[in-house]
Amino acid sequence: SQKIEQNSEALNIQEGKTATLTCNYTNYSPAYLQWYRQDPGRGPVFLLLIRENEKEKRKERLKVTFDTTLKQSLFHITASQPADSATYLCALDGDNAGNMLTFGGGTRLMVKP
């Protein structure tokens, strides 16, 4: 079955720097990959989607890349702010029929002022 790996260790960075989070997957070739943000005690919120035929996607300070050869997506937040502190989850379309997503375990980002 497909496996998704995100760094389980928290990422600590200084305000103003670029945060880069990694999502690796195995045993599957997804048609697209999504990134969500989750604040403590809240449900995840959709941020960005990138399709398999897209190399890069941007939205304001966010940038996502998708390398189907490396089976990896990178999620960048430029000019990071303390308000960006949250857990970020990647999700892939399921390897079964239907409309299910498979989520990674998430990486916690801490941006220090």
Give 93-99's long-range contacts (Cβ < 8 A, gap of 24+).
93/30, 93/31, 93/32, 94/2, 95/1, 95/2, 95/27, 95/28
Q: Is 34 in the site for another protein (CB under 8 A)?
A: yes
Nearer to another protein, 47 or 78 (CB): 47
Task: Give the CA angle between residues 65, 68, 73 to the nearest 5°.
Answer: 35
Nearer to another protein, 42 or 55 (CB): 42
CB of 48 to another protein, least distance (A): 10
Nearer to another protein, 45 or 79 (CB): 45
Determine which residue in the list 44, 66, 73, 84 makes contact with another protein, applying CB under 8 A: 44
Q: Is 100 in the site for another protein (CB under 8 A)?
A: yes
Tell me the C-alpha distance between 59 and 68, whole Å: 21
Q: Is 30 in the site for another protein (CB under 8 A)?
A: no
Q: Is 41 in the site for another protein (CB under 8 A)?
A: yes
